[in-house]
Amino acid sequence: MTEMVYGAVPAQAREPVLPRWWRTIDKWSLSAILCLFGIGLLLGLAASVPLATRNGLPSFYYVQREAFFGTVALATMFAFSLLSPKAIRRMGVMGFAVTFLALVLLPLLGTDFGKGAVRWYSLGFVSFQPSEFLKPGFIIVAAWLMAAASELNGPPGRLFSFILLVVILLFLATQPDFGQSMLVLFGWGVVYFMSGARMAVIIAILGLVGLAGNFAYQNSEHLKRRIDGYLTAEVDPRSQIGYATNAIQEGGFFGVGVGNGQVKWTLPDAHTDFIIAVAAEEYGLIMVLLIICLYSTVVVRSLLRLMRERDPFVRLAGAGLACIFGVQAMINIGVAVRLLPAKGMTLPFVSYGGSSVIAAGITVGMLLALTRTRPQGEIADIFKRRR
């Protein structure tokens, strides 16, 4: 009857999904990720051919696998970047539940591939490392709990997230995987700090971390060997760190030239943990600085966009994801130049990997989704109205 009297209200045409995605996405961060993937393929052509030759495989076997997994990672990143913050929260919680269960069952069903640490599930044609996928899911869960804790009559989210953190660290320490443990701890610390943590609690947590680190050093030969190797004044030239250090020194400012590097023939992990040494030797300091700038672009751009965000969950989750992405890259590069002890951590989107590069795609996809421009006033508008 109302329509007969007043006429029907014309339906407003909604903007299609892809044009809206392109208009709201952070194009600088997206471009930086695509450049990192391209650099990873370029370095893979140099670093993985010697490994394929030693293993009696076709020359470009690992390059083709890297291209395949990288394409899957980019497709996953694109799919996640289309989601809303509410959908990201749901996917993060469900993903965390699945990967946490996989982490719990790892001692029973996992394998170590002869490396002495049970971190993977072997699926025959590919391996799966639960801790890689656990990180973004845990950041989402921690941000959700801490954002809920700030609401009126909200749950004790900080306490719940801390209990989850301790349980996760215990499972990771039994593998052992101290590198991923520190990364998970750092990501939680960023979210906790931004949620309004008390200084006394932060100091207490740092003290507990120090005590746990000392206990692990005293009781883990794996960790003790790596720390002692890092602290020693002399570097064994036949060790991975020795080869990597020499390669970086040989590269100089402009590198020795494409294909002329030697470290890829001696380093067993030249295509994964020490890919930056291959970049430094063949392309020089210029390439290393370019890679650092690309990672910095993603982190800084994301944090700047999150500063304008009014939703507490989006701010906390986005900051946590951006920081673990940047810190993982910093750890990988720091190990190669002997600023940090050896961690066995890949360089996101650049190193060869299956689960690691797909997990990086999920992390960045969630980050791009959370940093998209949405119709809202900036957080500064709240303070202007209070004046």
Q: What is the pLDDT of residues 264-285, one digit of tens each?
A: 877 777 778 888 888 999 899 9
Nearest to 334 by CA among 196, 125, 182: 182
Higher model confidence: residue 184 or residue 117? 184
pLDDT at 91: 95
Positive or negative, the CA dihedral 245, 178, 100, 81 is negative
pLDDT at 72: 94
pLDDT at 331 over 80: yes
Residue whose structure tokens are 């790892």:
106
Does the bond joining 312 to the residue before it have cis omega, within 30 degrees of 0?
Answer: no
Nearest to 306 by CA among 315, 297, 298: 315
Structure-block tokens of residue 269: 């992990």
pLDDT at 9: 45
Q: What are the pLDDT digits (tens) for 340-385?
A: 887 778 899 998 888 889 999 999 999 999 999 877 655 555 555 5
Distance CA 387, CA 381 (A): 10
pLDDT at 1: 43
pTM: 0.89
With residue 330 as reference, give the H or E element that holds it.
Answer: helix 312-336
pLDDT at 189: 92
- Mean predicted lDDT score pLDDT of the chain: 85
Cβ-based neighbours of 267, under 8 Å, separated by 6 or more:
240, 243, 244, 247, 274, 277
8 Å CB contact between 379 and 97: no
Q: 260: pLDDT confidence band, cut at 50, 70 and 90?
A: confident
Residue whose structure tokens are 């749950």:
155
Distance CA 99, CA 85 (A): 21
Q: What residues form DSSP beta bridges with 299?
A: none
pLDDT at 221: 75
The total of other beta-carbon atoms located within 10 Å of residue 209's CB is 14
pLDDT at 187: 94
Left (φ > 0), alpha (ψ -120 to 50) or beta: where does 259 sit? left
Q: What is the mean pLDDT of residues 36-49?
A: 88
CA atoms within 13 A on the CB side of 162: 14
Nearest to 363 by CA among 327, 335, 332, 322: 322
Higher model confidence: residue 192 or residue 109? 192
Domain boundaries, the chain: 16-373
8 Å CB contact between 333 and 106: no
pLDDT at 342: 75
Distance CA 86, CA 363 (A): 16
